[in-house]
Structure 1
Amino acid sequence: MPHAVMLFAAGFGTRMGALTADRPKPLIEVAGKPLLDHALELTTGLPTRVVNAHYRAEQVAAHLDRSGVVLSVEQPEILDTGGGLRHALPLLGPEPVYTLNTDAVWAGPNPLKLLAEAWDPARMDALLLCVPLPRAVGRKGAGDFTLQADGQLRWTGDHVYTGAQILKTELLDEVPEEVFSLRLLWQRMGNEGRLHGLDYPGHWADVGHPEGIVLAEEMLARNV
């Protein structure tokens, strides 16, 4: 299982509207706790935890002060998920890593533990944790993938990517652009039959938009 996790917290949070006028999205509270802390609780026990930051990075830095979590600041521009992960590799190390989005809340088993139990590096270059649309609270729009019987993922379908995965990072060095999405890697892995998915058995809430806050709090209250 990986020993390092990258938590994505650098986005502008534009879908949050006025809520992110004076703070970064990861510091918006859900059920009395910042989104970033909800995510960090899932990573307890991992020796290497890295959070990236760009928008209002000084607030994220202050929040993490004395936590033991390492900050990877992206300046002058935001690097997207692929560029951000590559920028943080000196902090994360060369082995496969977890990545975790910080704009979601979970009700159910620890997602990283489920990924570790299912990870098979001989067959997989990436393992993405997905949830069926009916259990994707606050999700707007369609799903991202179809999860096939053999565990491989195909684009479009009724499964939503939750923002949690295990990923091999070697392909990052082959991308010439500085700013790029991890989707570039997923597409190549999928073409080679090495992009796999895992069905999350609990509930998951998208807190990337204001309505998601109330929906996430209701989900958590139902699953205490």
Structure 2
Amino acid sequence: MLFAAGFGTRMGALTASRPKPLIEVAGRPLIDHALDLATAHGAAPVVANLHYLPDQLAQHLAGRNIRLSLEMPEILETGGGLRAALPLLGTGPVFTMNTDAVWRGPNPLDQLAGLWRPAEMDALLLCIPRAQTVGHSGTGDFQIDADGRATRGPGSVYSGLQIVKPDLLHTIPERAFSLNRLWDLMLSEGRLFAADYPGQWCDVGHPEGIALAESLLAAPDV
């Protein structure tokens, strides 16, 4: 599930006439960078949710065997958007991925799949140690204990990528809601887990992030 419905307000004028996933980094739209990772992992089916300027995204994704979940008249946020897309995704755990970041290092979907333990986990979040983030400020989102369980608090930064079981989505009455609502339910049962990514990650949620992401991608291998 690729989250592509947002307004991209932090991008200012750059998103006045185009959706944020179509902003280019290193000559390619952000959503294509995310699709590269999903395709390399073999994730299928792939669903993208649309709301803001949806026709542009639909045209860009045409012919790629990507299913589209159109959110109208209102945007459904991450939790509501995932729930609305479930008929297109099928049953079982799913990857969800933001489309406003660039990665440098091993395929993060491969890492999550290798760490996924469905008997213990309802969600596995991929996080970034703060020293390995580019273009991101703040104290972090989650702490991770020795068993991989996550708790909220200053620590690693949530990357926007996870594996999640969607079952509990149906217990939330609101139509539009954040995935944070789902994670709170999992936290209460000790079934929210997280892992740190070994590479680097750049937040491209603001205009300055474009140049930072391009520099990250162009940096020589160490």
Q: 1:59 aligns with which of 33, 56, 60?
A: 56
What are the within-5 Å matches in structure 2 for residues 36-185 of structure 1? 36-44=31-39, 45-185=42-182
Displacement, 1:156?
Answer: 1.4
What are the within-5 Å matches in structure 2 for residues 1-20 of structure 1? 6-20=1-15
Percentage identity across aligned positions?
A: 62
Q: 1:30 aligns with which of 25, 29, 35?
A: 25
Partner in structure 2 of residue 210 of structure 1: 207
Q: Distance in 1 between matches of 2:123 and 2:216?
A: 28
Residue 170 to residue 223, structure 1, CA distance change in 2 (3 Å): farther
Displacement, 1:140?
Answer: 2.1
Displacement, 1:163?
Answer: 0.6
Q: 2:194 aligns with which of 197, 202, 206?
A: 197
SS of equivalent to 1:173: helix
Q: TM-score, normalised by structure 2?
A: 0.97
Displacement, 1:223?
Answer: 4.7
Partner in structure 2 of residue 3 of structure 1: none
Task: Please list every run of at least 4 consecutive aligned residues from structure 1 whose deviation after the TM superposition is greater than 2 angstroms.
Answer: none
Residue 223 to residue 175, structure 1, CA distance change in 2 (3 Å): farther
Shifted more, 32-41 versus 139-148: the winner is 139-148
Q: TM-score, normalised by structure 1?
A: 0.96
Counterpart AA for 1:176? P
SS of equivalent to 1:77: coil
Displacement, 1:47?
Answer: 2.5
Counterpart AA for 2:161? A
Structure 1 residues 16-40: Cα deviation after superposition (integer angstroms, max 9, x where no partner): 0000011000000001110000000
Structure 1 residues 141-182: Cα deviation after superposition (integer angstroms, max 9, x where no partner): 220111111101110122000011000000000000000001
Question: Where in structure 1 are there 5+ consecutive unaligned residues?
Answer: 1-5
Q: Distance in 1 between matches of 2:142 and 2:204?
A: 20
Q: Distance in 2 between matches of 1:182 and 1:94?
A: 18
Q: Distance in 2 between matches of 1:32 and 1:136?
A: 22
SS of equivalent to 2:110: helix
Q: Distance in 1 between matches of 2:220 and 2:64?
A: 28
SS of equivalent to 1:43: helix
Shifted more, 133-142 versus 7-16: the winner is 133-142
Question: Where in structure 2 are there 5+ consecutive unaligned residues?
Answer: none
The question of whether the paired residues in 2 share the 8 Å contact of 1:152 and 1:194 is answered with: yes
The question of whether the paired residues in 2 share the 8 Å contact of 1:26 and 1:102 is answered with: yes
SS of equivalent to 2:7: coil
Q: Distance in 1 between matches of 2:4 and 2:134?
A: 21
Pairwise CA RMSD: 0.8
Counterpart AA for 2:23? I
Counterpart AA for 1:39? A
